[in-house]
Structure 1
Amino acid sequence: MVGIVTERLAVADAPLQPEDIVLLRPSDPTLPLEELRKRYDEDGYLFLKHLLPREDVLKAREQYFNFLSPTGVLKEGTKAVEGVFNPNKTADDFPGIGAGAVGMNGRPGDESAAQFVDLALEAHYEEWYAEDFCKHPVLLDFIAKFTGWEDNTMALRRTLLRNNIPGTKPIGVHYDQIFLRHGDPTSVTAWVPIGDIKLNGGGLIYLENGDSVGQEIEQEFTRKAKEAGLTDEEAKNAFNSNMMATGFLSERPAEFARQYNRRWLVSEYEAGDVVLHKAHAIHASTINNDPGNVIRLATDLRFCDSSKPYDKRWMKFYEIGDGV
């Protein structure tokens, strides 16, 4: 299912026009696995509606914002699960982790943001997130069956739990293999919105047929690396250093899509939805312009086949400045 989007959406370099965007194709998780695999191979992604129990996702959202509430990030008198940004604060004091505001996963913000950044980082290690949510049995079971990896299904420990205050920097254009370069390009990313996200609320967007574009970019770099006489190890490191300082392909999604004559695939999301995507599927995010000032919260979970080479750098928790 696709459709025309008329609501105004914005990315870092421009508002997206109606002709620039189309809706993601949703899929029911109960469809036959053969059909789901076919869609994943065709599209480079699989947008699963209501895969996770909604109450479990909202519980994690509530725990996250309760954890960060001492920083004053939430509007007084609102519930933690709502995640409404404090209108008496400025976004500068609450920089999001992992949006690419600084290179090589450097520490975002200044001293005024220290408490918020520290707690946002610590949340990655909390049991309610690292164990209960990231290893949710419904998600693990689905991945194991969908991929056919079964008992070889491994959840990589390093995840990115991203908050996105309204109006702050969105995520730049990239594909995940850039950052998972020391493993086979067979990993599966599960992007999980932790709460409802309106169409203009900063959700993830995917480049139309972007998996093939990502593979072309990868092949072109590999060709140049071989011509330059780089070893495989040198090429892995050189690829990241030849991206932008953040590791992204571009900070200008509108321009990037025009360059490849593609549209951006967009959607609103509900708590319980999960989007699986391939290692070369190109994606970014819109600016969070939620009219209710709601903070966008989501996480990137990666899974691999443990019987094949995988990027072992991702087997430890996310740390600021880890360079991955």
Structure 2
Amino acid sequence: MPHPVSHNPPSHNTYHVNDGPLQPHQTGILRPSRPDLPLDELRRRYQEDGYLFLKGLLHRTDILQARAAYFTHLAPSNILKPGTNAVEGIFNTSNHAAHFPGIGAGSTDENGRPGGADAARFVDLALAAHTQGWYKDVLCKNADLHGFVAKFTGWGGDMRTLRRTLLRNGTPGNRAIGVHYDQIFLRQGEDTSVTAWVPMGDISMQGGGLIYLERGHILGREIEYDFTAKAKAAGMTDEEARSAFNANMMHGGLLADGPAEFGRKHDRRWLLTEYEAGDVVLHTPYTIHASTINCDPDNIIRLGTDLRFVDSSRPWDMRWSNDYAFGDGV
């Protein structure tokens, strides 16, 4: 059932990103929405903000069951604090956080394998989690989410869920996700996809959740279109333009590693919030986002997944038709 909508402003706490703390004037609050609002109003907010932060769209128990299954799967890597329940996802601080690196977009050059030999067992298990039944066949096919997105987009039976997903954790103290927008990774298809970011568990304001750049979808579209126009003016083909754009990105397709400086440069705030199991954020392919460093005071591991939807009647990036794998070219 939907949770009560909270709208608490950022507290006096410091929120850390890869290039240092975000100053108070650099932060705002993510606008929450109830899923039962009229569709026209939800669509208006999505177009206006570039995101739709839906409170309690999914059943909390469904999300917590998947969270428990994930950490039970990863338990042999010694990631969990002894004597705690898997669903809590409390990090074993006797470990070095670097041995439990995040995987996914922007973690290494060309989506390579993160970490060294000390991280091998954890990384193998984290990758294998993408193909486990409780994730691939249950969470990724959640009927409440699919039904809402099909209705919200108006795609109906043409809606397709992309098989490639990103199931990512964030252990306390590790580097956060850098600045990017999703079309960077979906450029071999039209810019009509919808991403659903699903926090798998409660995430405190200090817990490393996603942060969204204010009016970032407008800036992302401008960055993309400006580069494309310059490439076309130089006589490049579409494929040459894509390659040139990617060559000018940072490692892993990032616009920047540090959100603090990026926000200052573009005079935009980063919007933060706390998340609860059952919440979902939908965002556009140009919505610029990142994450904070997980500084949760109780050492709770941040867990979330990126699920993406397309209109199958339109051209879409076929590279996303396979399960996530290191070095898969995306």
Q: Do Structure 1 and Structure 2 share a fold, with TM-score over 0.5?
A: yes
Task: For 1:240, give the aligned amino acid.
Answer: N
1:238 to partner: Cα distance: 2.1
Where in structure 2 are the equivalents of 1:164-313 lying within 5 Å? 164-313=170-319
Q: Which residue of 2 aligns with 1:35?
A: 41
Per-residue CA shift, 1:278-324, capped at 9, x if unaligned?
A: 00000000000000011100000100000000001001000011120
User: Match of 2:141, SS?
Assistant: coil
- SS of alignment partner, residue 297 of structure 1: strand
Provide Cα deviations, 1:162-210, integer angstroms capped at 9, x if missing partner: 0111000100000000000011111000001000000010000000000
| Corresponding residue for residue 54 of structure 1 | 60
Residue segments in structure 2 that go unaligned for 5+ positions in a row: 1-6
Instruction: Name the Cα RMSD after superposition.
Output: 1.1
Q: Which residue of 2 aligns with 1:156?
A: 162
Using the TM superposition, give the Cα deviation of residue 237 of structure 1 relative to its aligned residue in structure 2, in angstroms.
2.3
Q: Distance in 2 between matches of 1:316 and 1:99?
A: 16
Q: Secondary structure at the match of 1:206?
A: strand
Q: Which residue of 2 aligns with 1:116?
A: 122
Q: Where do 4+ consecutive residues of structure 1 move more than 2 Å?
A: 1-7
Q: Is the 8 A contact 1:99 1:169 kept in 2?
A: no
Which amino acid in the other structure matches residue 143 of structure 2?
A: P
Alpha carbons of 1:2 and 1:79: their partners in 2 closer, same or farther (altered >3 Å)?
closer
- How far apart, in 1, do the equivalents of 2:9 and 2:170 lie? 27
Query: How far apart, CA to CA, are the structure 2 residues paired with 1:103 and 1:83?
Result: 28
Give the alignment's TM-score, normalised by structure 1. 0.98
Q: Any conservation in 1 of the 2:207–2:293 contact (CA below 8 Å)?
A: yes
User: Equivalents in 2 of 1:303, 1:5: separation in Å?
Assistant: 34
1:82–1:21 CA distance, 2 compared to 1 (3 A): same
Q: Which of residues 123, 146, 149 in structure 1 aligns to 2:152?
A: 146
How far apart in 1 are the matches of 2:170 and 2:151?
Answer: 32
Aligned to 1:44: 50
Using the alignment, how far apart are the partners of 1:148 and 1:46 within structure 2? 16
2:3 corresponds in structure 1 to none
1:11 aligns with 2:17: yes
- Asked if the contact 1:2–1:24 (Cα under 8 Å) also holds between the matched residues in 2, the reply is no
Amino acid at match of 2:231: A
Q: How many residues align?
A: 324
Task: Give, in whole Å, the separation in 1 of the partners of 2:91 and 2:106.
Answer: 21
TM-score by length of 2: 0.96
SS at match of 1:281: coil
1:62 shift after superposition: 0.1
How far apart in 1 are the matches of 2:8 and 2:216? 16
Identity fraction in percent: 61
AA in 2 matched with 1:82? E
CA distance in 1, matches of 2:10, 2:131: 41
Which residue of 1 is the match for residue 84 of structure 2? 78
Distance 1:221 1:255 in 2: 21
Q: Give ranges in structure 1 of 5+ residues lacking alignment.
A: none
